[in-house]
Structure 1
């Protein structure tokens, strides 16, 4: 049985270790393995963990999402050999880590997938500093974009009106995540632990790769013209930034193979500006829904739960990035509709310029 994994991320100084101790203390009967990653040569965070029974591995002088990626694989291999000694693995990243890259082995390496499943990605943000960090740093944006739950920390230091606006901003950056609030004396631990990532997102390797361009049963069809409807823009602006969240909803069937190729090409040429792609896809030629998402600059595609008779069969896609061209995305997706000349698509487009 794969062990649950929680990835705890957040920019420098957001309070990750304090929250980690609160999470550990809330679950006294649960056994934890912990991977602590620090950027400098001297690791001290491990000494700040209050529970003496936690199995701690420290990785210093590098970042798990880049220079220490091979070290993480070695640690995961070692932990998989002693799975009976813990119930859950927690990875606390450096303040400048990209959690999407840390998630890659859990979503792309079969041996790691057999031993571990990402249960949630928690992103901690500093209520006082996050707006400046979003304006000035790519890392903060990436951390928020990949999270399943965003916890605004140090809320006792800001006004209720500002906190309400900040919650809206963060939800607009990542409409897929739940946004919670708290501080060191009042963390919403139960609500945090209630957030669980869809299993389909983390249990399966991408079924399509550049060397395997066709899914069984895929059709070679002419590219249909894009269809559009009225846009419903809702804006929250921040100076010096052009971060945008764009979401689409299609009731018309998408061709999964064509969509995969279009999104792969998009990441190839614009990956540095795309922080997140995630969606649930309806392809009428397949019995199950499909989960598509970007992990770093790699696209993963896995089958999800089968469609039931009473389900509304539709596709939902969310893009988070800088300078996204809504019309270009809409045209690209319009080229991915399944061939069905009698169908009239009902497409809902929602664009949110965020900062």
Structure 2
């Protein structure tokens, strides 16, 4: 038998434990000091005995259960009786030490975790829906690394590809097999192949209400005019403005994962953070050159004939600072009137003009 001085007393009250409070946590997350010493609280033993009887219906045959539990109760009682002679001060110190150990253990368990190899995440990625790719990549670094690989995007394309699907030539399997711009091609193809994405595009209005605000401080990268042929005697004209979204500076404390160099071709996208503003007019209108300039004002009003729209865009050489207003003077103005339709398309939109580089 070990000496009494080497034992530490753990106080408890029988009323603190009842049959309703017995959980797996009492054993899975038990105090290491209690497990090491081999002690089992008597109140816990009684609660477990009552719980077993209620769950298993052993009221009629209590022999085997009572024999096992009574032996555990006897051992517990002997262990507790042997530690009754300890001083209260020593008992209080031991309780504070145990509480400190528990707190440190919980803190360590909350920070430490199991790290699984990339192969496991690659297998799990085969069951991820397209709309959950972002959530999957945010789980851990290895999951994010999987979403950077060509294998991930190739499998995602093959899972949803259909032979009878009406896909542009640049989104056919032969084109998607190329490594460069693979991610952009797969995302564009999903808006043709994946029904939830197709429905999402159909619900987007031609011109969202936030368009005038979203376009502010966007840089015009490209501008072209195209004649639209149709059944009307007077052909329509499309004025296309390619804008680069305003990229706001992030806080210096924000850290971003660096893309592995071997996956840079997969994630290359010349149209990233770009969208097209497409304005269709009833006739050709002479417009000044605005490429390289920043859009500072965008308004849509009713045309003079009260049947169409009137679009007005003001471009400046420098962007507009946040919180400051700038007058219309000193900038380049583009007025399109009468306007039949206005569309704003992001780079993944099915009607986004194709580029030879994507």
Sort the TM-score into its range (normalised by shorter chain): under 0.3
Greater gyration radius: 2
* Greater relative CO, 1 or 2 (CA 8 Å, sep 6+): 1
Give the TM-score normalised by structure 1: 0.20
Which has the larger strand fraction?
A: 1
